Amino acid sequence: MEQLQALVVDDNWYNCDIFRIALEKAGYIVEIAYNGRDGLALLQTKPYRILVIDLQMPGIDGFGVLTEIKDSPIRKTMYILVVTANAYMATEELDDLSDMVMYKPVNITDLTFFLERVKRMI
Amino acid sequence: MKQSTLNVIILNSVLAFVYAITSIISQEFGVIPPGNATAIFASSGIAVVAIFFFGYKVVPGVMLGSFIGNYTLYLRLNELDVTVFSLTGVIVAFAIGIGAAIEGSLGVYLLKRFSDAKHPFEDVRSVWVFVLLTALASCLVNATIGSTSLAAGGFIPPAVHGDVWLTWWLGDAAGIVILAPLFIIWRYLPKLSNDAQTVLEAVFSFIALMGIGAVAFIGGFPIEYLLIPILVFIVLRFGLHGATLGVFLISGFAIWGTVNGNGAFVRENVNDSLLLLQAFIGTVMFTALTLSAEDKERQKAMREVAETNRTLEKRVIERTQELAIAKEEAESASRAKTLFIAQMSHEFRTPLNAVIGYSDILQMGMLGDMTPDQMERIGFIKQNAYRLLGLINDTLDISKIESGKLTLDESRVDTQHFFDEILQGVKSLTAKKQIAINTVYHPNIPERILIDAPKIQQIVVNLVGNAVKFTPEGQITIEVGKKSETQWFLAVRDTGIGMSQESVNTLFEQYKRVEDETTKNIEGTGLGLSITKQLVDFLDGKIEIQSVLGQGSVFTVHLPLKSL
């Protein structure tokens, strides 16, 4: 079976590391971008099954990335998990831009559960 | 010789001349036949006016003028030629001159001393000072000196000494009463508005005044009383200028009429006529001045009130602006604080995410198996990390509540379903203890209710969390019921350690945890109940606690029941 691709976009190295471990454990091939610009560049290269993205980042932030790909065809086949530490940022706007919002600190059991589900929903 | 000295000499000479002429005219025309007493001695008024304006340096002029006037009178009465020298005449005239000087100086001194030195007729008190002290009291001096000198010099028989004294006194006083206010007030021209109505009013009221004066004192038809309303009108419309001029004109008619044997004041006895005339003039002037002063005081008071009002209004505006600025500053500070706390919360959560995330990864064996001891310690790391998270959440909640950011978020919920879900959520709180938790629905609770679900949920979670903390083992019950047609309640009942009444009283204060032997090992920020209380307040509810030490507590929240 072809391995599923996942992209993590977060400016915090530790968070990226944690998501990478959990995603790899769930069977994904993981790539990491530490800012929105790199994330957008990577998104153009291949079809990702899942995008895990932080909101608050320097430069192009999570909203910027999500708004950019909102009407792109890649959006149709990709699940978007927003992970944010800022409860104030969780606006209704996010409902349209993403499929799932998790608040930091993320419970890895919940995350794993979500990743497994996404994997089955091909 | 210095210019100023020369000026003083000229001033004194002019004054002496004017004084002498006035006294001769007064004696010539103001005499009521068949006697020789002067009805109105205008010179005494001139003296007061001159000293008032130029100061005491013109007193010699008064003395000289009086001397000349009286010596001339002496010569005339004795039908002597000017060239004849009479020592007696000189002595008597000199004595009267001294008296006139004292009278004028004293009058001005008293006026300036006991009333407003620059504006002596602007208030009622000053009018009294003027009439009583300047006119009546100071004129006693020259009346006494003058009449005594005349008697001593053999010019009047001792029998009439008293009568002469009286008419002298009142004549001098009348001269001051008529002339002093007139000149002192009219040194400045009246500030009249020159609109047609004011001019017409002035013209007609003075024509009326003079017309009535003419009828009363020349025509001999006794309608003097009609002068009063006209004078009152003039005083009220044209102030002190109108008052002094009006009285001056009335006095002119009264003197003219009485001297010529017309008007109500003419009596067989000369002194009686004089007394009536002087009393009339004095009364009229006193009335006019008092009325005018009263009016001025009232106007001044009104101006002060208006000024005070303006000041107050200005102050109110200033204060309002200050408050608006202070409010803006406070709001801005509050916004900054909320933003800061939100930012801090974010900053705290990011490393916590790493701590909890790595703990999870290790615990879930994602990086290989661990020994049970290691697993347990990682569990401790997680516990503490979650405790820290609780602190951060509470702080954020308090900041939200304090910045007034709470909004009502009401929706209709299925009562039992809603609380059953909460129950499932809070069950995890009791996982590590021997605590049973259940819900009890009173049969009267409506199937569906309109509530702010997130806040009610937070209230229940906080109360259950609190109950779990203070209940080592036993039972926690969430009760939901209807209290009345307008109120429902939810209660969280535990079988925990309970509290004393004293502890209950301080329970909702921020950061104030009940600290004693029984609670020292219990974790918490002390913010949870304070948040609960503020949420309940926000929902217009009330929270009530019953607690018995060693038996448990019941927290009951009463909330308004909103019908669907």
Mean per-residue pLDDT, B158-177: 85
Partners of B346 on chain A (C-beta within 8 Å) are 56, 85-86
Reported ipTM exceeds the 0.90 cut: no
Residue B208: CB partners within 8 Å, gap ≥ 6?
Answer: B230
Per the DSSP assignment, residues forming a β-bridge with B489 are B481, B558
B468 with B430: CB under 8 angstroms? yes
C-beta atoms of B353 and A106 within 8 A:
yes
Give residue B512's pLDDT band: very low, low, confident or very high (50, 70, 90): low
Question: Nearest C-alpha of chain A: how many angstroms from B347?
Answer: 8
C-beta atoms of A12 and B367 within 8 A:
no
Helix (H) or strand (E) holding A111: helix A108-120
Mean per-residue pLDDT, B443-465: 88
Question: What is the reported pLDDT for B390?
Answer: 79
Question: What is the reported pLDDT for B510?
Answer: 54
Give residue B521's pLDDT band: very low, low, confident or very high (50, 70, 90): very low
Residue B34 has pLDDT above 50, yes or no: no
Work out the number of other CB atoms within 10 angstroms of the CB of residue B351.
17
Question: What is the reported pLDDT for B526?
Answer: 65
Retrieve residue A121's tokens. 């929903």
Mean pLDDT of chain B: 84
Question: What is the reported pLDDT for B36?
Answer: 52
C-beta atoms of A85 and B342 within 8 A:
no
B165 with B227: CB under 8 angstroms? no
Give residue B35's pLDDT band: very low, low, confident or very high (50, 70, 90): very low
Give residue B309's pLDDT band: very low, low, confident or very high (50, 70, 90): very high
Q: Give, in order, the Cα–Cα distances in Å from B164 to each of A61, B122, B217, B320.
A: 114, 34, 25, 72
d(CA B353, CA A104) in angstroms, rounded, equals: 5
Span B79-124, pLDDT tens digits: 777 677 778 888 888 988 999 999 999 999 998 888 876 778 888 8
More confident residue, B451 or B520: B451
Question: What is the reported pLDDT for B506?
Answer: 74
CA of residue B274 relative to chain centroid, distance: 51
Mean per-residue pLDDT, A31-47: 92
Local structure of B183: helix, strand or coil: helix
Residue B100: CB partners within 8 Å, gap ≥ 6?
Answer: B19, B43, B44, B47, B62, B63, B65, B66, B142
d(CA B533, CA B514) in angstroms, rounded, equals: 16
C-beta atoms of A21 and B342 within 8 A:
no
d(CA B347, CA B250) in angstroms, rounded, equals: 96
Q: What is the dihedral of CA B387, B388, B393, B394, to 10 degrees?
A: 80
More confident residue, B552 or B194: B552
Averaging pLDDT over each range in A106-120, B49-63, B154-168, B431-445, which range is the top one? B49-63
**Of A85, A108, A112, Cβ closest to residue B349:** A85
Mean per-residue pLDDT, B220-239: 87
Partners of A22 on chain B (C-beta within 8 Å) are 361, 366
| Phi, psi (rounded to 5 degrees) for B452 | -85, 90
**Of B349, B364, B366, Cβ closest to residue A105:** B349
Residue B33 has pLDDT above 60, yes or no: no
Residue A22 has pLDDT above 80, yes or no: yes
Retrieve residue B62's tokens. 């008064």
Q: Which residue of B has its CA nearest to A56?
A: B346
Give the distance between the most distant pair of CA atoms in chain A.
Answer: 41
Question: What is the reported pLDDT for B356?
Answer: 92
Q: Which amino acid is at B425?
A: G
Question: What is the reported pLDDT for B524?
Answer: 58
b (16+ CB within 10 A) / e for A72-89:
eeeeeebbbbbbbbbeeb
Span B372-401, pLDDT tens digits: 999 999 988 988 888 888 788 777 777 777
b (16+ CB within 10 A) / e for B246-278:
bbbbbbebbbbbbbeebbbbbeeebbebbbbbb
Q: Which amino acid is at B202?
A: A
C-beta atoms of B360 and A12 within 8 A:
no
Work out the number of other CB atoms within 10 angstroms of the CB of residue A23.
25
C-beta atoms of A105 and B396 within 8 A:
no
Q: Which amino acid is at B348?
A: F
Give residue B425's pLDDT band: very low, low, confident or very high (50, 70, 90): confident
Question: What is the reported pLDDT for A100?
Answer: 87
B360 with B379: CB under 8 angstroms? no
What percentage of chain B carries pLDDT values higher than 70?
93
Question: What is the reported pLDDT for B303?
Answer: 92
Question: What is the reported pLDDT for B306?
Answer: 93
Nearest CA to B32 out of B146, B222, B163 is that of B163
Question: Nearest C-alpha of chain B: how many angstroms from A4?
Answer: 19
Averaging pLDDT over each range in A36-45, B84-93, B326-335, which range is the top one? A36-45
d(CA B111, CA B132) in angstroms, rounded, equals: 10
Retrieve residue A69's tokens. 């790909």
Mean per-residue pLDDT, B527-547: 87
Cα torsion B464, B468, B470, B475: sign: positive
More confident residue, B288 or A93: B288
Per the DSSP assignment, residues forming a β-bridge with A53 are A9, A82
Question: What is the reported pLDDT for A122?
Answer: 58
More confident residue, B341 or A29: A29
Q: Across B396-442, where does the E strand assignment appear?
A: 411-414, 434-441
Question: Nearest C-alpha of chain B: how many angstroms from A29?
Answer: 16
Helix (H) or strand (E) holding B448: strand B448-451
Angle between helices B87-114 and B42-54 (to 10 degrees): 50
Question: What is the reported pLDDT for A1?
Answer: 55
d(CA B216, CA B223) in angstroms, rounded, equals: 5
B99 with B142: CB under 8 angstroms? yes
Residue A29: CB partners within 8 Å, gap ≥ 6?
Answer: A3, A4, A5, A6
d(CA A100, CA B507) in angstroms, rounded, equals: 39
> Would strands B487-494 and B448-451 be described as parallel, antiparallel, or unpaired?
unpaired
**Of B357, B361, B367, Cβ closest to residue A105:** B357
| Phi, psi (rounded to 5 degrees) for B49 | -60, -45
Helix (H) or strand (E) holding B51: helix B42-54
Question: What is the reported pLDDT for B207?
Answer: 93
Question: What is the reported pLDDT for A7?
Answer: 95
d(CA B400, CA B402) in angstroms, rounded, equals: 6
C-beta atoms of A107 and B360 within 8 A:
yes
Question: What is the reported pLDDT for B156?
Answer: 78
d(CA B328, CA B60) in angstroms, rounded, equals: 74
> Any CB–CB contact under 8 A between A106 and chain B?
yes
Residue B519 has pLDDT above 60, yes or no: no
Question: What is the reported pLDDT for B520?
Answer: 47
C-beta atoms of B354 and A21 within 8 A:
no
Question: What is the reported pLDDT for B551?
Answer: 87
Retrieve residue B514's tokens. 């009940």
Work out the number of other CB atoms within 10 angstroms of the CB of residue B103.
31
Outline where B81-152 has alpha helix (H): 87-114, 124-129, 138-152
